[in-house]
Amino acid sequence: MSRVVTSYKKKQNESFYLRSWIAPDILDLARIHVGFPIWPRLDKLIPSCDTTSSSLFNPQNLQNKRHFVKVTGFHKVHNYTVYGSVRDDFCHILVEFTPQCVSEFERYHSIRITDKTVNTLFLIGDVAMKYVPVRELHDPRKWSMMLGLDPRISVVPVLVIGQCLAFDLDQVEASAKFPYLYHLESFSAVFGRELS
């Protein structure tokens, strides 16, 4: 059996559109930001999706692998902001869906963003990245999570999603397990350096 078929079979229940970008792209930015006196907010990590054409299947959307994520869970809803997790085909990252994003999603699809959308492939746009202090991850109004991070890590990157659409509602759950970005050795190497 050829290697192409074998590698496809390992992920045969994953979408063709779901590709790795979270770890390499976020860590490349963090390597730059770690030298700054304060952790910056990056307002245009991912541009807006093109929703003006007759279909979401247009080159602007399809060619940018950052536009595609799979929703893996919702943690909290607070002040109309939805706190959750998404992943590419390699790892998870925490996200905030802005109130405007949530409102537009729910009007467009006529469903709640948290209603039966786990494992749905989302097309995302207008995405910012911010660094959140680890102590905020324990906030019961937001994520309320204990991630078991390296104690040297004081902040984690989080995506702030301003636009999303359900791209594929099949909700296929992968048989493989995916780590959070924050548990990767490459993440600890970048963020552990900040206190060294």
Residue 110 included in any domain: yes
Full domain range(s) for residue 26: 15-191
Residue 2 included in any domain: no
In the prediction, which pLDDT does 49 show? 85
- The confidence band for 79, taking pLDDT boundaries of 50, 70 and 90, is very high
Mean pLDDT of the chain: 86
Global pTM? 0.88
Residue 8 included in any domain: no
Contact indicator for 97, 149 with CB cutoff of 8 Å:
no
- The confidence band for 12, taking pLDDT boundaries of 50, 70 and 90, is low
Residue 117 included in any domain: yes
Amino acid at 41: R
Residues 6+ apart with CB under 8 A from 177: none
CATH number, domain with residue 106: 2.40.50.960
The total number of structural domains that make up the chain: 1
pLDDT, tens digit (0-9, with 9 covering 90-100), for 108-163: 999 999 999 999 999 999 999 999 999 888 888 887 778 888 888 889 999 999 99
Q: Give the SS3 label for residue 158.
A: strand
In the prediction, which pLDDT does 1 show? 47
Residue 39 included in any domain: yes
Helix (H) or strand (E) holding 43: strand 42-46
Report how far Cα 8 is from the mean position of its chain's Cα atoms: 23
